[in-house]
Structure 1
Amino acid sequence: MGATMLTSPVFAEGVIDVAIIGEPPTLDPMMSTADVVSIVTQHFFETLYTFDENWAVVPLLAQDMPEISEDGLTYRIPLREGITFHDGSTMDSADVVASLQRWLKVSTRGKGVAEQVAGIETDGANTVVITLTESYSPLLSLLAFSNAAAMIVPEEVLGEELSAIVGTGPYKLEEHLPDQYIQVTRFDDYVSREEPSSGGSGKREQILDEIRFVPVPDAATRVEGVLSGQFQFADGLPTEAYDRIESTDGVEPMLLAPFGWPIFAFNLKEGLMADQNVRSAVQAALAPEDMLYAAFGDEKFFVTDAALFPESFQWHNEEGAELYNQADAAKSQELLSKAGYDGSPLRILTSHQYEFHYKMAEVAKVYLEAGGFTVELDVVDWATLTQQRDNPAAWDIYITHSPFLPEPALTSMYSPTSRLGWANEEKDAVLKEFTSETDPEKRLELFAELQKLVYEQAPFYKVGGFNTLLAKSTALDGVTETPWPYFWNASLSE
């Protein structure tokens, strides 16, 4: 296992080792939507707002919720005072403005809202004013999300790249040896909020002295490591390991249900998938239930479901469902003929680090070949995949997944500025109306229209819904069940 073998005692006082799915492609969360980036960086970077256990937006570095003008165009955000960065400097409104301006330029989610932002300005040392060109209802959810995060850092470290990893979080970056570990230690000058802990909100206690995030690309190695006590927590485990974990003393499974949705993301910018008929042919050929069985093995871990949100979410609807789960090779061949398909390879970019991605790719290849495609699987490590997917010349489909998010606009794939490049006049009009509407019932109706367009225009393919398996030592207490596990408030028992 090489770098994954650590020599420290398994239960060193106040120290835990966390097995993650691989080396994060960056420690700058503005620059990536990869979950492995969020999991690590949320310990040392913080945002103005965050989510509580009910996915309501609540203040974090902001002192309170913003004062919003009647027309919905002006947000006055009061900042907490006395917040110290890891470099010893004090956070003020200039840092916040500079951080948010960079977020609009470099973050996938920031770019998605940039056209609606007329300006971000200071109003004294402890107030920031965001002015919009039009009402944008998901703004606070975007500012709260730790993924492609609008994190706040000192103005001095900002640039195209961060000159230093300096945040306000309860832990600070101590040492980073790529492909070996990312070590974070308690930040002694951290000032926690005083509200009771709820989800990511409220009090963040620094009980653990040190957390080491260890990249372990092989899923089986992550399983064996948590079972043996080498790791006190392991992320992204294969579902077939559930019974072994459950029956092993000193270890317990954490099954997040419902967790999220596997996604085949399509390249609409160039190549084969820029043709609507080719995308519809892929949609017609795929057999999601077989893909899900191959990936998860047991129906307690997945559901074959067209809806972009499960029934437990207010956004659930069945628009477009008739175009899901077709497994129709003849229809695929007919659509390829209409497209003038010449047999060029359909390049599917995937990784073994999320083993269920690869298993779905193998099944998809069989069905797509039956549907008339020549298929080429490009299997790379996850860090490479997250880099290659930003180059539209390198892929036709890449496989990813997402937790179910509280606000649909947090899913960047709907935006024409995303790496998929889904730009369409009808869709753009619906999306604009959806993000500017403030009436909750009207927003539900508009999202149903958007889901219908997802199936009609096929910018991506939801394979189904799935639950995800994590595992932890029974000696590790205080870990909240969440798609992005965090370890403030966590402790080791004797």
Structure 2
Amino acid sequence: MKNKKIKTILNFVLTIIIAAIFVACSTEKDGENEKQDSVKNNKFGGTIVVAQKMTPPHLDSDKSTDWAISSIMNHIYEGLFEFDANFEPQPYLAESYEIEENGKVYTIKLRRGVLFHNGKEMTSEDVKFSFNRWLKNNDAGNMIAPYFDKLEITGPYELKFVFKRAYAPFISILGSHVSNQKLVIRPKELIEKYGDNVMREHIGTGPYKFIKWIPDQEVRLEKFVDYVPSDKPVSGLAGKRIAYADKIIIKSVSEQATRIAGVQTGEFQFAEEVPQDQYKILVDDPNVEPVIVKPDGMEMLIINCGIPPFNNIYARRALVAAIDMEELGRTMIGNENFWSVDGCIYPKGTVWYEENSGAGVYNNYDLQKAKDLLKKSGYDGTPIVIVSGQDNKVEKYGAIALKEQLEKAGFNIKIELFDRPTVVERRSKKEGWNLHLSYFYMTCPDPQVEGAWTGTNAWISNWDDDDSRAMDKIFERMMIETDKKKRFEIVKEFYDKTWETLPYIKTVEYSRMHIANNSLKGYANFCQPFFWNTWIKKK
């Protein structure tokens, strides 16, 4: 019995040993398979070459609104906040924030352990120096400055931003991804070196380091191996960033044909802004993937409200009733993949979208109503001048289409075509023009920003009457309301007032087209190209 028991134990032990050997062999084999799969599907390495349409004047985002700068420097510099795909600012270099004293004080805590490209850890001192430079030099900083009081460092990773009065859009503007408005964080020493002068060196916290800029040719970036990413979910510009490519080279290539050919041959992995009329050809090319940017922009009909006839509300209402938006889209842009109609100036699916915006006014073509309103306005037949760019296909065709539609309602229309600098110069004056089609990005960070071109005498509209002052009051209330739900109700008042008083008219939503070589994977279709979380498929 004793021998039998020993034999049973030995058999059990032997079974365990055999099983362990089998598991070890299987694990080793699985590990080898995983290793082989990892090598086979490795996303890391290589160089992403991008063909950019414009060449930047310099690379200092505080000193220019040029988008060619931010599309490059977003890889190098990061903000306290970055916008997600729903256009909500999310903490990035910031860990969290609190709004106190009824919207007058913002306490921002920083992520710890974030490194600059020179190996130094980011602290409150760097944020303070970056903010003070931004406040003085950046257009967004200039917008905030009249309301701002002081900045207090309350710890190595904590700051208090104190305002003279409540300022609700602060976080949105800090993270703004348009026109280089974003506050990006640079090391204190770099700011001390350059002060208010244009920076020629660039040290950030981003996934790529600045290596070299050859003006009018290219910018070279290299992976930052000690990068400390956010651990938040990926969405738009927010969330975790991984630098898969070893290098990114961004070339200045003004010729459309060269950008297209380069992507087709694989010389470029990505090219921005190619003509939409090439879509049918490119979509059938196995080497190319068209990227239709959505959401993107809108064609806005800017109205000179300071002179007759459009200083009269009935003339402006006649104008909107006379426009068939869908016919305008077909004539101005053509391919319906690149335009759509919607009355809200913010894109569908974003936090500021309101589906009823413009109801009963937008895209409500009624020729007889337009004629009746025009008669009521007292319009005397004086020629109405549409100022448009002769080198911009959309503006030019849009002006021609508008002329045809408005003349049916009784307007006397004259088109004047100029080069871009002349258009800008003409529309800056109060006299000599009435209408102008202009491309606006829909990805604006906050409705408060719209006040810069919507209220009394704002931007180029020359709008100054009881309605403009009523609009000013809406923006005043919007500025101080920090409760998001209550603030959105005020934003809807702004939408309603816009469609009631018509200081400008949104026409159609409009998308640009980029193209990517089929070797580029993981590209996120956002309003501005970026190439972290993006890799080159190995052959």
**TM-score, normalised on structure 1?**
0.81
Partner in structure 1 of residue 77 of structure 2: 45
What do the CA deviations read for 1:14-34 (whole angstroms, capped 9, x no partner)?
222222332235533344555
Q: SS of 2:59's equivalent?
A: coil
Which residue type is aligned with residue 61 of structure 1?
L
Q: Does the Cα contact within 8 Å between 2:222 and 2:246 map onto a contact in 1?
A: yes
Determine whether 1:296 maps to 2:333.
yes
CA-CA distance at 1:151 after TM superposition: 1.7
- Determine the C-alpha separation between the residues in 1 that align with 2:506 and 2:481: 26
Give the residue type in structure 1 aligned to 2:92: L
Q: Give me the whole-angstrom Cα distance separating, in 2, the residues matched to 1:492 and 1:106.
A: 38
- Greater Cα offset, 360-369 or 115-124: 360-369
In the alignment, what sits opposite 2:26?
Answer: none
Corresponding residue number in structure 2 for 1:470: 514
Aligned residues: 474
| DSSP-derived class of the 2:172 partner | helix
Per mean C-alpha deviation after superposition, the further-off stretch among 311-320 and 146-155 is 311-320
Can you give the 5+ residue segments of structure 1 that lack an aligned partner in the other structure? Answer: 1-12
5 Å-filtered alignment, 1:260-279, equals 260-265=297-302, 275=311
C-alpha separation between the residues in 2 aligned to 1:103 and 1:93? Answer: 15
**Structure 1 residues 449-464: aligned runs within 5 Å:** 449-464=493-508
Secondary structure at the counterpart of residue 329 of structure 2: helix
**Residues 345 and 442 in structure 2, CA contact (< 8 A), matched pair in contact too:** no
Aligned counterpart, 1:180: 217
Q: Which residue of 2 aligns with 1:10?
A: none
Compare 415-424 and 186-195 and name the one that shifted more: 415-424
Corresponding residue number in structure 1 for 2:61? 29
Higher helix proportion (structure 1 or 2): 2
One-letter amino acid matched to 1:454: T
> Are the aligned partners of 1:50 and 1:60 in contact in 2 as well (CA < 8 Å)?
yes
- Aligned counterpart in structure 2 of residue 318 of structure 1, from 336, 352, 356: 356
Match of 2:274 in 1: 237
Match of 1:347 in 2: 387
Deviation per CA, 1:332-382: give whole Å up to 9, x if none. 9759965x8865854335754xx54454344345556773233222233xx
1:434 equivalent in structure 2 = 478
CA 300–493 in structure 1, closer or farther in 2 if over 3 Å, else same: closer
Corresponding residue number in structure 1 for 2:183: 150
User: Counterpart of 2:342 in 1: which secondary structure?
Assistant: coil
Which runs of structure 2 are paired with 1:14-25 in the superposition (5 Å)?
A: 14-24=46-56
Q: Deviations over 1:135-156 (max 9, x none)?
A: 3333212112222222223432
- Name the counterpart of 2:438: 399
- Does the 8 A contact of 2:428 with 2:460 survive in 1? no
Letter in 1 for 2:184: M
Q: Map residues 249-260 of structure 1 onto 2, 5 A cutoff.
A: 249-260=286-297
Contact 1:264–1:398, Cα closer than 8 Å, also in 2? yes
Between the aligned partners of 2:126 and 2:518, the Cα distance in structure 1 is 41
RMSD: 3.8
How far did 1:305 drift? 2.5
Structure 2: how far apart are the matches of 1:103 and 1:225?
37
1:294 Cα offset (Å): 2.7
Alpha-carbon distance in structure 1 between the residues aligned to 2:201 and 2:186: 8
- What secondary structure, in the 3-state scheme, does the structure 2 residue paired with 1:237 have? coil
Task: Please name the residue that 2:130 is paired with.
Answer: 99
Corresponding position of 2:36: none
User: Would you say 1:444 and 2:485 are equivalent positions?
Assistant: no
Bigger Cα displacement from structure 2, 272-281 vs 371-380: 272-281
The residue identity in structure 2 corresponding to 1:488 is W
User: Which residue number in structure 1 is paired with residue 99 of structure 2?
Assistant: 68
| Larger radius of gyration between Structure 1 and Structure 2 | 2
Q: Secondary structure at the match of 1:198?
A: coil
**Residues of 1 paired with 2:436 and 2:86: CA distance?**
34
Contact 1:266/1:273 (8 A) holds in 2: no
Q: Distance in 2 between matches of 1:324 and 1:70?
A: 40
Report the counterpart of residue 134 of structure 1 in structure 2: 165
- CA distance in 1 between counterparts of 2:131 and 2:449 reads 17
Between the aligned partners of 1:486 and 1:205, the Cα distance in structure 2 is 12
Deviation at 1:406, TM superposition (A): 6.3
Q: Does the alignment pair 1:162 with 2:198? A: yes
Q: Deviations over 1:24-46 (max 9, x none)?
A: 35533344555444322211221
User: Aligned equivalents of 1:167 and 1:387: distance in 2?
Assistant: 35
Q: For residues 289-319 of structure 1, what are the alpha-carbon distances to aligned partners after superposition, in whole Å with 9 as ceiling and x for unaligned?
A: 2331134323343222323235544531434
Question: Secondary structure of 1:236's partner?
Answer: coil
Partner in structure 2 of residue 307 of structure 1: 344
Change in Cα spacing, 1:194 to 1:459, as seen in structure 2 (3 Å) is same
Superposed displacement of residue 223, structure 1: 3.3
Query: Quick check: 1:112–1:415 contact (8 Å CA) kept in 2?
Result: no
Amino acid in the other structure paired with 1:132: F
Q: Distance in 2 between matches of 1:337 and 1:80?
A: 62
Cα deviation for residue 489 of structure 1 reads: 1.9
Deviations 1:444-470 (A, max 9, x none): 332222112223443333112234433
User: Could you tell me whether the CA contact under 8 Å between 1:319 and 1:449 is conserved in 2?
Assistant: no
Amino acid at match of 1:318: N
Q: 2-side partners of 1:80 and 1:418: how far apart?
A: 39
Contact 1:30 1:103 in 2 (8 A): yes
Q: Kindly, what percent of the aligned residue pairs are identical?
A: 28
8 Å CA contact 1:392, 1:419 repeated in 2: no
CA distance in 1: counterparts of 2:308 and 2:536, whole angstroms = 52
Q: Secondary structure at the match of 2:273?
A: strand
Structure-1 separation of matches of 2:524 and 2:426: 31
1:441: how far off?
3.7
Q: Give the structure 2 partner of residue 7 of structure 1.
A: none
